[in-house]
Amino acid sequence: MTLVRSDSGFWPRESLLRLLAYAVWPPTEERALAVLADGSAAGAVSLYLAADGKDLAGLLRMRRTGRRSAEITHIAVVPERRRGGLGRAMIEELLQLERLDEVVAETDGDAVGFYRRCGFDVHSLGEQYPGVERFRCALRRRGQPAWASSGAKDGP
């Protein structure tokens, strides 16, 4: 698996929308289209895609929050590739590619276990919507910067 930054032009738009629909609420292509349109206007937002041959296997959308920090705004893996380590691999590769020391995400109870398994600290934000508890997940690299293991001699 290779994680590549997308300009949204290489992959068929329908494939992107279908994959992104797994990471939005409500899970519709219309909502996914709104997310893609929102990202194209903001320079600090990047969309990364994980390909399995010619097929999209996953995506990760992030927003830069500082020099070495970012927020994962959306992450999705096609159903047939879930629970195989692809989501974790995308996060690890994102840390390397973007030279991040900290990454955060907000999620609900359905995905909080995934973030815990990836090493994130998880804190409840309480019930943000009627009947829906939200969580803030944070992964901080302590000591050596996250990008250091990539072989880079100095920072960005």
For residue 9, what pLDDT is reported?
Answer: 56
Residue 154 pLDDT more than 50? no
The answer to whether residue 133 is domain-embedded is yes
The answer to whether residue 156 is domain-embedded is no
Residue 14 pLDDT more than 60? yes
The answer to whether residue 47 is domain-embedded is yes
The CATH number given to whatever domain includes residue 59 is: 3.40.630.30
Amino acid at 99: R
Q: What domain range includes position 48?
A: 2-150
Residue 146's pLDDT band, with cuts at 50, 70 and 90, is very low
Give the pLDDT confidence of 30-57 residue by residue, as tens digits: 888 788 777 655 567 888 999 877 788 9
Would you state the structure tokens that stand for residue 106, as one six-digit string? Answer: 């907000």
Residue 10's pLDDT band, with cuts at 50, 70 and 90, is low
CB atoms within 10 A of CB 114: 19
The H or E element that residue 136 is part of is strand 132-140
Number of domain units in the chain: 1
Give the pLDDT confidence of 76-120 residue by residue, as tens digits: 999 998 999 999 999 999 999 999 999 999 999 989 999 999 999
Alpha-helix runs per DSSP H in 65-135: 86-98, 112-117
The answer to whether residue 155 is domain-embedded is no
Give the pLDDT confidence of 115-138 residue by residue, as tens digits: 999 999 999 999 988 888 999 999
What is the DSSP secondary structure assignment for residue 8, as one 8-state letter?
S
Q: How far apart are CA 67 and CA 80, in angstroms?
A: 35
Residue found under tokens 């840390």: 95
> What does the H/E/C string look like for 44-74?
CEEEEEEEECCEEEEEEEEEEEECCEEEEEE
